[in-house]
Amino acid sequence: MLGAVRDAGPKVRISVIDYTPEVLEEKFVENVEECFAYMDRESITWINVDGVSDSEIMRKLGQHFGMHPLVVEDIMSTDQRPKVEDYGNHLYIVVRMLRWNDKESALIDEQVSLLLGKGFVVSFQEEVEGDVFEPVRQRIRSAKGPIRKSGSDYLAYAILDAVVDAYFSVLEQVGDGIEDIEDRLTGDPSPAALRKLHAMKRELIFLRKAAWPLREVVGNLTRGASSLITPEAATYLRDVHDHTIQVADTVETYRDMLAGALDLHLSVVSNRMNEVIKFLTIIGTVFLPMTFVAGVFGMNFVNAVPEWDNPLGFGIVLALMLTVSIGLLAYFHRRKWI
């Protein structure tokens, strides 16, 4: 079921990770002004803002980083379509971060905005709790791979890569759900199974709306139109672009599978209905001549019915009715109707 876990309060939490190949500093800050001192260092700074409800904090960040007022507005409006915009000294990137909530079996959708500039990345998350960026943080802490030796464009790549990897986790859950629903529709095409099928269809429509624009966003970043993206980072982004294509193709495959499951459901229901109608038709056909015989021999006329005074008349009529019914059943069996 499509859903989201929302934080009720308007609080905002800001964390800073500042690093060079040799030095790492990571902390939470109480005031947004504390982040600005890191901009004067010869290091890479990642500022992560959890929660975008505080207009004053957003105004200060926008003023310090030279963000266009429309960018600040888009960050706070959390229903944006994935996109990338080049403002010269910084890139503004919007993606949808998807996670799967195992407790509620719900798809969590959250808007993530990235501001990429020379030496810094500012990420804005819609919610205060939870994200998919912990692997990126661990790579920075452990200095594994080239992340500590690369620029802010590589950091932006790592964040986008984490977002795309989370799509595969969601698709894995969806794939398991489709297999389960196919089994249920084959064995027990109940209304509950049909409702689940339609719920999963809505989830896939939502996934498609998030995945296809994301492919365009990453594709635009790989074309090298911005001086903020180095050729080395563009190489890594092309790998992310391949992953987004794989995600989009998987979504389309799952949509086809759900359409096939719906056709399977309709076919099973139709076959069951045909079996019921067939059974009722056979019953009606078998009892129709018996009803006719009973009606003829049940007429209250002394001379209208033969063997009226015969003490074996009742048995003869029953035998006649039974013979006709057996004959009909034998005929149906020979025609392979039963």
Domain boundary assignment for the chain: 13-267, 274-334
d(CA 92, CA 84): 6
Give the count of beta carbons closer than 10 Å to the beta carbon of residue 253: 13
- pLDDT score at 271: 80
Fold: same for 13-267 and 274-334: no
Q: Output the six-digit token pair for 232.
A: 């080395």
Listed residue (2, 4, 163, 160) closest to 97, CA to CA: 163
- pLDDT score at 307: 62
- Supply the pTM of this predicted model: 0.76
d(CA 120, CA 142): 20
pLDDT tens digit sequence for 158-168: 999 999 999 99
CATH topology of domain 274-334: Methane Monooxygenase Hydroxylase; Chain G, domain 1 (1.20.58)
What SS3 string covers 183-196? Answer: HHHHHCCCHHHHHH
CATH superfamily, domain 13-267, is CorA soluble domain-like (3.30.460.20)
- pLDDT score at 144: 83
b/e per residue, 209-221, with b = 16+ CB within 10 A? Answer: ebbbbbbebbbbb
Q: Output the six-digit token pair for 120.
A: 């810094």
- pLDDT score at 28: 92
Residue 143 zone, left/alpha/beta (φ > 0; ψ -120 to 50; rest): left
- pLDDT score at 9: 44
Q: Output the six-digit token pair for 224.
A: 């090298």
- β-strands 24-29, 44-50 pairing: unpaired
Residues of the chain with pLDDT under 70: 1-10, 104, 128, 187-189, 300-310
d(CA 41, CA 26): 15
Q: Output the six-digit token pair for 186.
A: 């084959």
d(CA 167, CA 175): 12
Q: Residue 83 phi/psi, 5° resolution?
A: -160, 170
Kindly give, in sequence order, each residue whose CB lies less than 8 Å from that of residue 150, ignoring residues fewer than 6 positions away: 44, 232, 233
Give the count of beta carbons closer than 10 Å to the beta carbon of residue 2: 15
